[in-house]
Amino acid sequence: MMVLDPRLWCLLAFWAGAWLLNSELSKGRSDWVRYAVPLVFGVTMLVLWQVGVTAYSVNKIILPPPSDVLARMMSSKPTLWADLVQTFFKGALSGYAIGCTAAVLVAIAIDRSPFLQAGLLPVGNFVAALPIVGIAPILVMWFGFDWHSKAAVVVVMVFFPVLVNTIAGLAASEVMQRDLMATYSASYWQTLFKLRLPAAMPFIFNGLKIATTLALIGAIVAEFFGSPTRGMGFRITAEIGRLGLDMIWAEIAVAALAGSAFYGAVALIERGVTFWHPSQRH
């Protein structure tokens, strides 16, 4: 029979205690509970990670404790910031802006032609499901190692989800509403800007939110295929060679923060733009 050693008992006891606390907390209905419970869970995981790694003296090459990662984040702020600028602000954001703008414009352009729609929608849906990251090596070859190639990968990755969603959105206004615009003798562009684009916004933002994650993924993965000596993807591959796992975790933490902040920013804009939509009413 396996004997449980005291370290495992401690960890299990801590886990059980945190779980009891959470199940008690989750019986409450107040607002702060909704934030407290996931927070307790997250902190428990971190503590278990820290204590578990230390108690069992796990090799730091396999799993560094969170305190090491935090220390690394603090000590190499300039490097992390330079990587973030290179990958996120130059690569991901510029590609995101170009790709999303292009997708919305193309959607508006082909919206006028049912023929093009019938042809492009299935193709777009198909392409949106493909492993597009695979084009990264090709685009890196074409556009060089710097952030331009990363932006190009991001453009291709975000284009189709946004295109498909925008086309669906432009069809979202109802016939009655469009008829009303016609009775006002509104021109095509007036109908577009006053009715159809606002009505399409929930769909467009759905695509834009999906695209935030894709943008960061595209920029990071493209750097695995070649990059200047900075950038998150570069740092991850370089630190793998040196077994600097704490630095990799630090980069991942930064990527997670940047990704969540990016998503949150888009969601915030969405709340401002589509304040009228049922999903935004509280």
Footprint of other proteins (CB under 8 A): 19, 22-23, 25-27, 33-34, 37-38, 40-42, 59, 61-63, 115-120, 122-123, 126, 129-131, 133-135, 137-138, 140-142, 212-213, 216-217, 220-221, 224-226, 232-233, 236-237, 240, 243, 245, 248-249, 251-252, 255-256, 259-260, 262-264
Q: Which is nearer to other proteins, 25 or 102 (CB)?
A: 25
Rg (CA), the chain: 24
**Cα dist from 33 to 22, 47, 81, whole Å:** 9, 20, 34
Q: Which is nearer to other proteins, 88 or 170 (CB)?
A: 88
Query: Minimal distance in Å, beta carbon 122 to other proteins?
Result: 5
What are φ and ψ of residue 140, in 5° steps?
Answer: -65, -35
* Rounded Cα distance, 215 and 95, in Å: 7
Segment 121-128 long-range contacts (CB within 8 Å, at least 24 positions apart): 121/164, 121/167, 124/160, 124/163, 124/164, 124/167, 125/160, 125/164, 127/160, 128/160, 128/161, 128/164
Query: Minimal distance in Å, beta carbon 176 to other proteins?
Result: 24
The per-residue DSSP string of 5-31 comes to PHHHHHHHHHHHHHHHHHHHHTT--SH
What are φ and ψ of residue 271, in 5° steps?
Answer: -60, -35
Query: Minimal distance in Å, beta carbon 272 to other proteins?
Result: 19
The length of the chain is 282
Q: Which is nearer to other proteins, 168 or 252 (CB)?
A: 252
Q: Which is nearer to other proteins, 152 or 236 (CB)?
A: 236
Amino acid at 41: F
Query: Minimal distance in Å, beta carbon 265 to other proteins?
Result: 11
The per-residue DSSP string of 63-98 comes to ---HHHHHHHHHHTHHHHHHHHIIIIIIIIIHHHHH
Q: Which is nearer to other proteins, 182 or 240 (CB)?
A: 240
Query: Minimal distance in Å, beta carbon 212 to other proteins?
Result: 7
Q: Which is nearer to other proteins, 181 or 217 (CB)?
A: 217
Q: Is the four-CA dihedral 146, 235, 226, 256 of positive or negative sign?
A: negative
Query: Minimal distance in Å, beta carbon 214 to other proteins?
Result: 9
Q: Which is nearer to other proteins, 57 or 185 (CB)?
A: 57
